[in-house]
């Protein structure tokens, strides 16, 4: 089954709606205590599983900051940043994930604009609309990451920043079933696509309503930002939380986050 035989956007919308129903950790809204702390100036967010984004990656103040949460539904990052003073818009492919943000906004009296759509198509937004884009790990759910970077660059104001998290592509080299058993068996090449798996293995996703994933090369993740016009200013790596068993995590960090500026 090739890329032309399945609508990835539609499939992943349904899959992430299902993840909300399952209670996936990235679909659980923040608590009232987290929002109260953010209003008092004590806040942090993650782009990757555990490491907080350094505060110096953000503007000196979020008051009045026009902020886009890019594929950032789930009631986590965007409500915190709204409580800290930003004027927040979140775009996400999953209506259920956006509903999480609406739930927190209603509960806490926050103003968050929620837009359903494709992270690679921001045509509803004018050029130079935002001061800051927050993009937690999510571009593994689109076949081509380069349009994501180009659109992010277009909608940022000069001097604006893109804060992005993404997977280390090495995780996609291994046979998935063996990986889940704790075995590291190299099977695939990069770039990786679930759509290139044999039909019998694709049923895991198409029948089990699991999101389809794509492993983008570092050339496309990092070089793609540079090609779009960004200037990379900072980078860090991250791992799963302690106690989570993963056969590869003990050997190297599985996640990266970058800060990139649109030149003024």
Residue (of 74, 25, 27, 32) closest to 49 by Cα position: 25
- Helix count (H) and strand count (E) of the chain? 9, 9
Q: What is the pLDDT of residue 63?
A: 97
pLDDT tens for the chain, 264 residues long, are 344 478 999 999 999 999 999 999 999 999 999 999 999 999 999 999 999 999 999 999 999 999 999 999 999 999 999 999 999 999 999 999 999 999 999 999 999 999 999 999 999 999 999 999 999 999 999 999 999 999 999 999 999 999 999 999 999 999 999 999 999 999 999 999 999 999 989 888 888 789 999 999 999 999 999 999 999 999 999 999 877 889 999 899 999 999 999 999
Contact 190, 172 (CB under 8 A): yes
Residue (of 163, 112, 115, 140) closest to 215 by Cα position: 140
Determine the straight-line distance between the first and last CA of the chain, rounded to whole angstroms.
45
Residue (of 35, 17, 44, 22) closest to 99 by Cα position: 17
Residue 16's contacts (CB-CB under 8 Å, 6 or more residues apart) are 27, 93, 94, 96, 97, 141, 211
H/E stretch holding 156 reads strand 156-167
Q: What is the pLDDT of residue 35?
A: 98
Q: What is the pLDDT of residue 206?
A: 81
Q: What is the pLDDT of residue 43?
A: 98
């Amino acid at each position: 089954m090739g890329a032309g035989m399945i609508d990835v956007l539609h499939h992943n919308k349904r899959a992430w709606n299902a993840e909300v129903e399952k209670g996936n950790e990235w679909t659980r809204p923040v608590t009232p205590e987290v929002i109260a702390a953010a209003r008092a100036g004590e806040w942090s967010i993650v782009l990757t599983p555990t490491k907080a984004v350094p505060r110096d990656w953000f503007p000196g103040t979020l008051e009045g900051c026009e902020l886009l949460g890019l594929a950032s539904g789930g009631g986590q990052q965007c409500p915190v940043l709204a409580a800290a003073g930003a004027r927040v818009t979140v775009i996400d492919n999953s209506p259920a994930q956006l509903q999480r943000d609406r739930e927190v906004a209603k509960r806490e009296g926050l103003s968050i604009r929620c837009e359903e759509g494709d992270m690679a198509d921001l045509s509803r937004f004018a050029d130079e609309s935002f001061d800051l884009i927050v993009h937690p790990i999510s571009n593994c759910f689109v076949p081509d990451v380069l349009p994501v970077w180009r659109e992010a660059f277009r909608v940022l104001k000069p001097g604006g920043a893109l804060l992005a998290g993404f997977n280390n592509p090495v995780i996609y080299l291994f046979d998935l079933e063996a990986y889940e058993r704790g075995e590291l068996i190299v099977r695939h090449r990069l770039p990786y696509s679930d759509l290139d798996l044999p039909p019998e293995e694709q049923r895991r996703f198409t029948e089990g309503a699991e999101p389809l994933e794509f492993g983008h090369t570092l050339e496309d993740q990092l070089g793609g930002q540079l090609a779009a016009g960004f200037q990379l200013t900072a980078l860090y790596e991250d791992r799963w939380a302690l106690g989570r068993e993963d056969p590869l995590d003990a050997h190297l960090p599985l996640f990266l986050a970058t800060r990139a500026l649109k030149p003024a």
